[in-house]
Amino acid sequence: MRAPGSGDIHRQGIDFMQGIKFTVGSALIAALLWTVPASAKVPSPLPSDAELMHQALWSCRGLSNRRRKTIDLGLFRSLLDLERRMDVPEQLRGMTLAKACIESGYTPDVKGDCGYGTCKAVGIIQLWPWTQRFGVDRTDPIESVQFLLTRVHVGLEKLHRRCPCIKGELNRFVMAWLRINRGPIKGTRQRCAGTPHGLRRLRQWHRNIIKLRASRAKSERRAHRRAMRRAARKAARRSARNRSRPTKQGDWGYNASSAIWSTRPVRRIYIW
């Protein structure tokens, strides 16, 4: 039995380092497999304009596919821009789209509340004749929505006297919207409770957006894990191929059995 030479010790050191690198590489790959990319994390619950427009087009009940093809998406953008200019709370972005969806199906010249040969409500948000004394063209969508938001802000200034029990900016805005929608008086008392026409639809759109975001994030996580698994398998195959491939160059070491310097083949070390 011969004594171990420097070449054997060197070769053992190489094998030991290869084992450490393989273990560390496997641990890093396993950690990356369970790492969620930044794009796959659940984003802010506040919807974007594109998401609201998508919901307004495809989640508005009663719209046929033929009617959806004729809707001008530029009208949706104009209404959302108008809401931004009129200081509508971010939590209520899309309120005019939801109301227009319920009232008219985004039809500017539709008539409603008809009886005895006359129709009281006209336009995209079904304004009544009393609005004409303010010089509003009820068949103009932008002018009608601007008048609605202006009256909401006017009612918001008087709400602290009419309904002092309402607290919070968002709740006060919703109540001002309700009083413009259904009237400030209920029976013989001030209207200080209820839900405006369109708020439930808007909340349903927000829930749909959150579900779509969660589904999209789940799909991105699955795709990320599949990609990392493919990368891990590729790295493992490359590591195995490199360990079994001898180098053409040699390692000069001392051979204790023959007491001469000789060249010993060693394996290459690849770092991925």
pLDDT band at 25 (very low <50, low <70, confident <90, very high): low
For 233-245, how does the pLDDT look when each residue is reduced to its tens digit (9 = 90+)? 988 888 888 776 5
Give the residue with greater pLDDT, 218 vs 17. 218
CA–CA distance, 90 with 269 (Å, rounded to integer): 57
Scanning 86-198, the segments in alpha helix (DSSP H) are 95-103, 141-162, 169-182
Asked if residue 190 has pLDDT above 50, the reply is yes
Instruction: Tell me which DSSP letter residue 87 carries.
Output: T
Residues sharing a CB contact under 8 Å with residue 129, sequence separation 6 or more, in sequence order: 120
pLDDT at 28 over 80: no
254 beta partners: 261
Residue 264 has pLDDT above 70, yes or no: no
> pLDDT over 90 for what percent of the chain?
49
The reported pLDDT for the residue numbered 255 is 44
pLDDT band for position 5 (cuts 50, 70, 90): low
For residue 127, what is the DSSP state? Answer: B
**Which pLDDT belongs to residue 261?**
45
Which pLDDT score is estimated for 96?
95
pLDDT at 33: 45
Provide the whole-model pTM.
Answer: 0.70
CA 108 to chain centre: 31
Cα distance between residue 110 and residue 14, in whole Å: 83
- Residue in the structure block whose two tokens are 């202006």: 150
In tens, the pLDDT along 30-74 reads 444 444 444 434 445 789 999 999 999 999 988 888 999 999 899
Instruction: Please report which confidence band the pLDDT of residue 171 belongs to, taking 50, 70 and 90 as the band edges.
Output: very high
Average pLDDT, the chain: 80
CA distance 115 to 258: 116
Domain ranges of the chain: 72-197
Say if residue 250's pLDDT is above 50.
no
Residue 262, token pair as written in the block: 């000789």
pLDDT of residue 244: 65
